Amino acid sequence: MSDQKVRVRFAPSPTGPLHIGGVRTALYNYLFAKQQGGTFILRIEDTDQTRFVEGAEEHIIESLRWCGILPTEGVSFGGDFGPYRQSERKDMYGKYAQQLVDAGYAYYAFDTPEELTSKRKEAEANKLVFKYDVSSRKEMKNSLTLSQNEVKSLIDNGTPWVIRLRIPENEIIKFTDGVRGEVTYNSKELDDKVMLKTDGLPTYHLANIVDDHYMQISHVIRGEEWLPSTPTHILLYRYLGWEDTRPAFYHLPLLLRPTGNGKLSKRDGAKFGFPVFAHNFVKADGELDAEGFKEYGFLPQAVINFLSLLGWNPGTEQEMFSMDELVKAFDLNRINKSGARYDYDKAQWFNQQYLMSSSDETLAALAKPVFAEHGHHPDDQRLTRICQLLKERLVTTKDFWNKGSYLFEPVTAFDNEKIVRKKWKPASRSLLEQLMSQLIGLADFEASAIETTIKAFMEENGIGFGDVLPFLRLGLSGTMKGPSVFDIMEILGKQESNKRMTTAFDRFEAISNNS
Ligand code: GLU
């Protein structure tokens, strides 16, 4: 294994949009490959035609592209080991299923779906679960129980069959998992899984092993839900004579709900109001099926950073990692064993950090479409000024609008009327009107000049900040929270500031009269 080149794969099935847990699996594979100078492969495992979802493959690829987890080889990326879509390799698998049968490691089974259903029902009635396994296979219709002649005539007559793996009786199957250490199963726990289906297509298990072998995969890094399948895979490597080049296994811990109880599911996104996908998935009929980080206003760097620490720890206090830093720091030996709680607050915190440290140009490029969506197209200079102002206040890019809409649209409500009732005095209006006329007289209506004028005015009139600033703030932006009033004024400009204050004076008076 040691001198084998690192070749890893991400092997999703296109059965729906790519869940964020899948993105994390892809990321860990990618980081490891990059670090080792290896190859990261995208293989689409689409042999289960009944579960195929239109658009899922495109969603997977677009998720990887958006995150910057680019495969070196694979569907849509080319390479020498293709095709990388299993449905295009379907003729490759049959011979291995046959090889297993010929060597006595697998057998034909002729049980009809009805017969299997009735077995399942029978078991259920006794509060049991039917398993096609070492003991039950003795009572079923298969090439282990039927004579050679019977088998031959069934096949010749065109009776539908499948090929099942013949799990050994009472054998200990041991393997090392890079995350969990030595893992042991008793073959009694396993069932005789179908390898080749009635439609001639392989199941996941056979196709996965054949392809990992053929594509010279060195390390299998995948979700924990595949751990129980691994003993079957170990047997397959042995039975196909490929034990020498068997990949090393690493099973990543589950992503858990924020509450810590149970696996994070697609439904949790809607339930808790956060994304569990990289980007939106719109079904073929146009229905929005899943919401993504991208549309929530996240930067891919933040999502990557967040995911990198969901299941891996650097062993230091460092939290902020660029992709390049991750490639250097990532360590397969530091994958956590226990499930990783999906902490959306932490995801938001990362996004905030990345937005805060973005350049003005980057922010302007992010803000432009957000404002455009609301029908506003500020010129570059104004856009940059707005971005500088809002920078520290953004959690997602949607906040360009949530926190800055008043820079474009008139104020319709005040978020703090209490302060008006408390501070508005009979003389306030005339004082503030005087102040506004001084400000309008400024040759250069920019923040520092505005600040100097306001401060001088307060001093001259013997009044304090509380007599002036809350009213300017509310009148100009509608909110007591936000950037400095001087900056807001500059961005709004003379005319608009004056217009807003004039309207506000009437409202202030009305509020104070009503109290
Ligand atoms: N096709 C499997 C999936 O959808 C791949 C599991 C594996 O990596 O072996 O996750």
| The token pair that represents 277 in the structure block | 């996908």
Q: Give, for ligand 1, the residue of 24, 46, 208 to mutate: max count of ligand atoms closer than 8 Å to Cβ.
A: 208
- Predicted local distance difference test score (pLDDT) of residue 486: 97
- Look at ligand 1, atom 5, and give the residue with the nearest C-alpha: 11
At residue 176, the pLDDT reads 98
333 near 250, Cβ under 8 Å?
A: no
Alpha carbons 22 and 36: distance in angstroms, whole number: 21
Q: What pLDDT score was predicted for residue 2?
A: 46
Contact 429, 423 (CB under 8 A): no
Residue ID of nearest Cα to ligand 1 atom 3: 12
Atom of ligand 1 at shortest range from CA of 45: 1
What type of residue sits at position 121?
K
Residue 147 burial by Cβ neighbours in a 10 Å radius (0-12, 13-18, 19+): exposed
Nearest-atom number in ligand 1 for the CA of 208 is: 9
pLDDT tens, 1-52? 445 799 999 999 999 999 999 999 999 999 999 999 999 999 999 999 889 9
For the packed helices 380-390 and 485-514, what is the interaxial angle rounded to 10 degrees?
70
Nearest residue (CA) to ligand 1, atom 10: 12
pLDDT computed for residue 32 by the predictor:
98
Using CA of residue 449, residue 453, residue 454, residue 456, what is the dihedral sign? positive
Beta strand 73-74 with 39-42 is parallel
CA of 220 to the centre of ligand 1 (A): 10
Which pLDDT belongs to residue 261? 87
For ligand 1, what atom is nearest to the CA of residue 11?
A: 5
157's CB contacts (< 8 A; 6+ apart) are: none
| Ligand 1 binding residues, C-beta < 6 A | 11-13, 45, 204, 208, 222, 226
Q: Which of 119, 188, 266, 346 is catalytic?
A: 266
**Separation of 17 CA from ligand 1 center, angstroms?**
14
Query: Catalytic annotation on 266?
Result: yes
Task: Name every residue whose Cβ is closer than 8 Å to that of residue 488 and which is 6 or more positions away in sequence.
Answer: 389, 406, 407, 473, 476, 477, 482
Which residues of the chain are under the pLDDT cut of 50? 1-2
Q: What's the gap in Å between 141 CA and the centre of ligand 1?
A: 30
Q: From the CA of 5, how far away is ligand 1's center (Å)?
A: 21
Identify the pLDDT of residue 281: 96
CB atoms within 10 A of CB 418: 11
Q: Which atom of ligand 1 is nearest to the CA of 222?
A: 8
